[in-house]
Chain A
């Protein structure tokens, strides 16, 4: 059984934090298919279109019939642990600091043999299910888990090294005024977060979430993402103990380009949605990146809540979606910049939410509970891309079928 994590003692400020190191990060192009599947929590392997052979390790040609048509398909993750070892010495600095490290060889029911990480609760030579996850190099790796959930399973050191689990972590929600902030804070606390900081802009104005957040024990702190000084001030105060940052700040108004009659609103949207993210990243990013190997409550993830229409615009909210596209673009740059530190950028894409600014739209809409669930489970599974709600899933599938067709469909819906 996994030993439950114990809350870490208060940090000794004189002690040096471990510098972040990385597991091996280089992959062939084919192997990146594994990473792409891991980024959204799928278990997929290459499958030969011509003969059906499931391939692993990733290849450029089928090992059975030499076909070069090897798409990634969702695959049954169950198998049997053939052999295992505990690595006690490694020449790689990342693993050297983390030995003993259990790994093994699993024969998948689907055919291939996989060398993988092995969870501490797996019984020798037993049945296992594999999960595909991102490691701290941001690359897809497989870990063998027991077939059924076990107690404190997520506290296993190997699983914890790959997830962004909120348990025993301190989390900043950047805008306490977001209508879903209290529900999100509660879900994070239920998942074991030890502290919630909630940024509050314009503290002199009433905040309908203030009482609810205070009741949960959240720390309300002044933060205006449009004000560089304000962001820097808060980063100076809590940047060194922010383990997960969830950017809920957003400026949302309906309307496309012609409905606006000017650029003032668009300017506000960019100030909050794009430049706000940039300010937060510049102020909090370096401190978080330096603390990704800092023990149980290391810095682990950066979460952006984005409209799914950041990817292809939906014209009824055309200008807002354009600012979301800018934020999405920035998130990809951040992901690359945080990569060597192992700080994960998780984008949660959702459709319209159950709230005032989306009031005229028909259902289905994303509820506060659904969003909170997506954020928490995404962090627990260590994902990079999370699709929250039916609209987002439908959008993702249509986008993957044909992005241009989706653009035309959205234009027709918006113009109708």
Chain B
């Protein structure tokens, strides 16, 4: 049994995705406001009545979430900033849940959003981290593509995975995206097209890469009785983990921090991988999804390639994965990329996913991964949430 206190009595509700746009002239403030307004509207809550606010964004500069409170007319008694990129959704959730559980806040709105102007991506990369500035980008300036090319190259050598294996992940996600009207990618993708795509940073090719875009995501964390009172479909939190800079001695990243906390992850949820109805991984590149499938215990280390070959990862398949199309096919809206899986999972287990709804989706695992500080992603996180399903 886990020694950690459970999240009993706390739920998440009111999932919102503001449809992504490839390039937008709007600011992060605008995108965050859109998502916040929608999630509050769903719960019939006035902005002035919100007492907890959690923000994840890369493009608020020179503002912080503090400035955002005045900008948006909020007066929270609990305020959080989650600078954790792809892990920000799960991390925002677990912090907000404890605040609500302790009574430090009644309702926390967790919002992630980022702008994407022409040239924003280059500017964001240039000042991403000190190690990247000193020791990453001077070497070809391939950005995250080059970092993940190195990890993918090594992963393929080590475990015998092939581009076809990664292609299966991408092709399945594209099929899922075609059912999500808000996904940026609208055309079907075949494995042949995937394999024939323009090389970006070998062995990474075009369809291994996400498309940077603007967008925002949000959800609310509150007590269960509050959700019932407001007639909101909700999900309970069964388990969460978070870990940073794990396995620092590994010369190259072939596993993430999930492996450190995996036993506790399943102990706390009192279930195992077989009890999961759908999985949302952080998919900035397919190799990372493969790593999460392994490190979360869905298969042995190095066996993701066999797992992917043996399962159908689409919405109607036997292992529904990244059901909204994920970042690979729906787009990567900066820090909102750390929310996309969690918000979609919340829709799924509350039976509100509409065209991407997985039948019988009650229990979802969501993983986050973020922040390529130098040569690897430093943040990892995961959660299991459970709802009544469709």
Contact = CB atoms under 8 A, between A and B. Distances in A.
Interface of A: 23-24, 26-28, 30-31, 34, 56-58, 63, 82-92, 94-95, 101-105, 107, 113-117, 125, 135, 137, 139, 141
30 contacts: A24-B126, A24-B133, A28-B130, A28-B134, A30-B134, A31-B134, A31-B135, A57-B130, A57-B134, A58-B135, A63-B248, A82-B154, A85-B153, A85-B202, A85-B204, A87-B149, A87-B201, A88-B198, A88-B199, A89-B200, A90-B141, A91-B141, A95-B141, A101-B142, A105-B150, A105-B251, A113-B252, A115-B150, A115-B375, A139-B138
Contact of A86 (B139, B143, B201, B375): B201
Interface in B73-132: 121-122, 125-126, 130-131
Given A23-B141, A88-B200, A95-B141, A113 B251 contact: yes
Given A57-B135, A88-B200, A113-B375, A24 B150 contact: no
A139 B134 CA distance: 10
A141 B157 contact: no
A83 B139 contact: no
Contacts of A82: 150, 154, 251-252
B252 to A, nearest CB: 5
| Shortest 8 CB-CB contacts between residues of A and residues of B | A85-B149, A92-B141, A57-B135, A87-B142, A31-B134, A83-B154, A87-B140, A101-B140
B374 interface: yes
A357 B299 CA distance: 79
Interface string B357-379: 00000000000000000110000
Scoring A34, A87, A117 by chain B CB atoms within 10 A of each residue's CB, the highest score goes to A87
B145 interface: yes
B140 A103 contact: yes
Given A63-B248, A105-B375, A90 B143 contact: yes
B137 A103 contact: no
B140 A84 contact: no
A115 B374 contact: yes
B232 interface: no
A135 B138 contact: yes
Nearest to B153: A83
Interface residues of B, number: 37
B279 interface: no
Contact of B252 (A26, A83, A95): A83
B291 interface: no
A107 to B, nearest CB: 4
A190 B20 CA distance: 61
Contacts of B134: 27-28, 30-31, 34, 57-58
Contacts of A116: 139
B379 to A, nearest CB: 17
B303 interface: no
Contacts of B233: none
Given A57-B374, A95-B140, A104-B150, A87 B126 contact: no
Contacts of A34: 134
A56 B146 CA distance: 19
Nearest to A102: B140
A102 B199 CA distance: 13
A84 B150 contact: yes
A394 B143 CA distance: 44
B33 interface: no
B138 A24 contact: yes
B252 A90 contact: no
A24 B137 contact: yes
Nearest to B137: A24
Given A28-B134, A107-B251, A115-B374, A83 B150 contact: yes
B338 interface: no
B150 A92 contact: no
B286 to A, nearest CB: 15
Contact of A87 (B141, B157, B375): B141
Contacts of B139: 103, 115-117, 141
Nearest to A82: B252
A90 B150 contact: no
B18 interface: no
Interface in B17-63: none
A82 B248 CA distance: 16
Nearest to B136: A115
Interface in B277-311: none
B151 interface: yes
A83 B253 CA distance: 11
B180 to A, nearest CB: 27
A52 B202 CA distance: 36
B131 A57 contact: yes
A292 B145 CA distance: 29
Scoring B126, B130, B134, B202 by chain A CB atoms within 10 A of each residue's CB, the highest score goes to B134
A104 B152 CA distance: 12
Contacts of A84: 150, 153
A84 B375 CA distance: 12
Contacts of B131: 57
Contacts of B375: 105, 113, 115
A91 B199 contact: no
A125 B141 contact: no
Scoring A88, A92, A104, A125 by chain B CB atoms within 10 A of each residue's CB, the highest score goes to A88
A125 B154 CA distance: 10
B58 to A, nearest CB: 16
A383 B345 CA distance: 56
B157 A125 contact: yes
B376 to A, nearest CB: 9
Nearest to A26: B133
Contacts of B201: 85-89
Nearest to A80: B251
Nearest to A60: B130
A124 to B, nearest CB: 9
Contacts of A113: 251-252, 375
Contacts of B145: 87, 89
A103 B141 CA distance: 10
B121 A92 contact: no
Contact of B122 (A27, A92, A117, A125): A92
Nearest to B376: A113
Contacts of B153: 83-85
A41 to B, nearest CB: 18
Interface in B183-205: 198-204
Given A88-B199, A91-B125, A83 B151 contact: yes
Contacts of B199: 86, 88
